[in-house]
Amino acid sequence: MRLHNLSPRPGAKKRRKRLGSGESSGTGKTSGKGHKGQKARSGGSIRLGFEGGQMPLIRRLPKRGFNNAAFKLRIAVVNLDDLNDFEDGATVDEAALRQQGLVRGTVDGVKILARGELKKKVTISGAKFSEAAKRKIEAAGGKIS
């Protein structure tokens, strides 16, 4: 197999429809747009959900319920095995986690979960912990402040 032998699979390259090239082409004269009307004009398109002046469905349906998404807390999750990237005796806070690339974007807090084993003695501050994570950190000789 050489580069000059390569060719696309049959049917992979389809010619684009050439509009307005004579009546016998099948796409001449009105170029597949029918006769007159808004959709036949250049730039003539109807916005999503527009129903020709009729009250749109989205406005006809009753609105119910409450959405609390604006007040949702975004908590970054860090597992114990991720903390092995730090040196022994290091102080781990949100800034250190960001520098290491473990926390990204806007978050309202950090939570340490207990997945994996912690092999370093680290001091962790300014975070929430699961109960199992607290036990594992203290068992590894680390501190929570």
CA dist list (Å): 66 to 24, 63, 69: 59, 9, 9
The tens digit of pLDDT for each residue in 23-58 reads: 998 899 999 899 999 989 999 889 999 999 999 999
Distance, CA of 136 to CA of 138 (rounded, Å): 6
Express each pLDDT in 91-126 by its tens digit: 999 999 999 999 999 999 999 999 999 998 999 999
Domains, the chain, with CATH or none: 73-144 (3.100.10.10)
Cα 123-92-82 angle, rounded to 5 deg:
105
Cα–Cα distance between 46 and 38 in angstroms, integer?
Answer: 8
Report pTM. 0.55
Pull the structure tokens for residue 54: 């009729």
CA distance 133 to 82: 12
What the block records as the tokens of 110 is 């950090």
At residue 67 the predicted structure's pLDDT band, cuts being 50, 70 and 90, is confident
